[in-house]
Amino acid sequence: MPIKVLVVDDSAVVRNILARELASDPDIDVVDTAPDPYIAREQIAKFKPDVITLDIEMPRMDGITFLRKLMKHYPMPVIVVSSLTQKGSDLAMEALYQGAVDVMCKPGRAYTVGDMTMSLIEKIKAAARVRVEDLGAINDQLLHSKNNLSLTRTTNKVVAMGASTGGTQALEYILTSLPPNSPGILIVQHMPERFTKSFASRLNDLCKLDVREACDGDRIVPGTALLAPGNKHMVLRRSGATYYVEVKDGPLVKRQRPSVEVLFSSVAKYAGANAIGVILTGMGSDGADGMFKMKQNGAVNIAQDEESCVVFGMPSEAIKLDAVDNVLPLVEIPEAVLRHA
């Protein structure tokens, strides 16, 4: 059965583009479009869609308010499709914490229609497999499982993390659990540009670590977590005993930019046995091959287990390659990182 999708956006142009492009995939059935949440509410009752794409800056009722009501009364997978503005990015981050499964930016400077459609179709297919009720249960468990961990001395280990669908909550849990002298951390979360800056800022406000969007040449030091900027690849480099990052353009790798594959492969090359790899919830296989290279070069690798994942894609692929040393529930990963450090 095709996945039934409802497109909600106040722009007729965007509604038409998304409906036309999504309908080109035989596995997707765009049941209707809606210009605002009030009409969307009627269409949800009529068509019972499997997934909704939702703009968040709309008249009559904003998308965040609608999302809260939806998650309370009729929970279902929602993908936010937002404008590439600072306000749009901040609201998209808020939407993720109100129950949205994933975020996308509208076609424009960052995405051509073709690139955006390809990515949105993949996100819809992943979202259709998400049980929103289970997502709520996972978030409740994380809320009541906060760790207060410590590290007796600093270490020069490098921790590389990769995540996609569901990764914002997973990364928040891990990073807020870690002490301020944790090893330096590099993170790729599949997310558009500007959205990553909002996400890094939110994490920095919550964590004991210094969390920021990476800039070209940033050094990896204890107590700092660097997040790959959206639409840029981030790679590890080494000069003598100093690790630093290179932030660069490049083609999509595993259909992603930033790509976990690119980061993990560079960590395998330049950090080897001095690295710890962590692969978290997400769709697809990005990072699996790179994690296998890390293991071959002596790194210790951790994968999130299926029960705590929103989408058990990326960890599953790494496990199939025998690239993983430990498969753990999310609540045990922060302690495992420190233990291996």
Write out pLDDT tens, residues 240-287: 889 999 999 999 999 899 999 999 999 999 999 999 999 999 999 999
Given the residues 32, 55, 286, 289, the one annotated as active site:
286
pLDDT at 147: 66
pLDDT at 117: 83
pLDDT at 336: 96
Q: Which tokens go with 195?
A: 């959205």
Is the whole-model pTM more than 0.85? yes
pLDDT at 154: 61
Q: Is 286 a catalytic residue?
A: yes
Q: Is 233 a catalytic residue?
A: no
Query: What are the chain's domains?
Result: 3-130 (3.40.50.2300), 142-340 (3.40.50.180)
pLDDT at 93: 86
Q: Exposure of 45 by Cβ count < 10 A (0-12 exposed, 13-18 middle, 19+ buried)?
A: exposed
Q: Which residues pair with 129 in a beta bridge?
A: none
Q: Which residues of the chain have pLDDT under 50?
A: none
Distance CA 337, CA 341 (A): 6
Given the residues 83, 164, 285, 308, the one annotated as active site:
164
Q: Is 190 a catalytic residue?
A: yes
Distance CA 53, CA 55 (A): 7
Q: Which residue has the tokens 């249960």?
A: 137
Q: How far is CA 110 from CA 12, 163, 231, 313, in A?
A: 21, 20, 7, 25
Q: Which residue has the tokens 């969390």?
A: 211
Q: Which residue has the tokens 């962590």?
A: 278
Given the residues 190, 233, 289, 340, the one annotated as active site:
190
Distance CA 224, CA 214 (A): 10
Pairing of strands 184-189, 210-213: unpaired
pLDDT at 192: 85
